[in-house]
Amino acid sequence: DTGVSQNPRHKITKRGQNVTFRCDPISEHNRLYWYRQTLGQGPEFLTYFQNEAQLEKSRLLSDRFSAERPKGSFSTLEIQRTEQGDSAMYLCASSKDSLTEAFFGQGTRLTVV
Amino acid sequence: GQQVMQIPQYQHVQEGEDFTTYCNSSTTLSNIQWYKQRPGGHPVFLIQLVKSGEVKKQKRLTFQFGEAKKNSSLHITATQTTDVGTYFCAGREAGTALIFGKGTTLSVSS
């Protein structure tokens, strides 16, 4: 499968715990995006990378969120000290460059209890 | 910051009726993309518009990009039950991230 892969698909965690999600983009896609989506809403932009460089991070994003793309391939999104409001679907997408379409993964559904 | 707004939020039609969703950006866009998300699925790319005033068609779907590159529309002719889902526009200013609207959810009854 050469699509965008996200792991895990589902994560249930207790409030206050840290969680980490992984995204493997389509091979040779330079751009990688992280979005968060809640029921009835559109994907909310979190951050994006051009190769290994994190180019933009949403101003609405808490300091508890951090993302990396160390070698310009896969990326991880970590949420520290999770809160119930963090419960959402976390979507990763990749694109070849800034001018082409984004391909989404299946997402990681986070539930904070 | 850049904002992308879509109306209506929901639309219910009878099969065979037409459907239109509108997208407006607070800033001038370098391009706009449209995605469709089925219930339980992830957004899937439909089309990208780049040029001012551009119109593109995909079978029963017609996409337009405004002259000022700040608005766009998606029109579906003679809807079918397979058109059900949420349609998102996503806009990008030059060199920035892709920002999504909240989407229009289409339901179709036969």
Measured in angstroms, the CA of B94 and the nearest CA of chain A are apart by 9
Residue contact B88–A106, C-beta within 8 A: no
Mean pLDDT of A32-57: 94
pLDDT at B1 over 80: no
Of all residues in chain A, the percent with pLDDT exceeding 70 is: 98
Mean pLDDT of A12-23: 98
Cβ neighbours of A100 (radius 10 Å): 15
Per-residue pLDDT, B93: 83
Residue contact A101–B31, C-beta within 8 A: no
Asked if B6 and B91 count as a contact pair (C-beta separation under 8 A), the reply is no
Contacts of A105 in chain B (CB under 8 A): 42
Per-residue pLDDT, B18: 98
Q: What is the largest CA-CA distance in chain B?
A: 44
- Beta-bridge partner residues of B45: B35
Mean pLDDT of B40-59: 96
Of all residues in chain B, the percent with pLDDT exceeding 70 is: 100
Of all residues in chain A, the percent with pLDDT exceeding 90 is: 84
Per-residue pLDDT, A1: 52
For residues B20 and B39, give the distance between their C-alpha atoms in angstroms, rounded to a whole number. Answer: 19
Residue pLDDT, tens place only, A68-92: 999 889 999 999 999 999 999 999 9
Per-residue pLDDT, B97: 85
In the predicted model, what is the mean pLDDT of chain B? 95
pLDDT at A99 over 60: yes
Contacts of B101 in chain A (CB under 8 A): 42
pLDDT at B41 over 90: yes
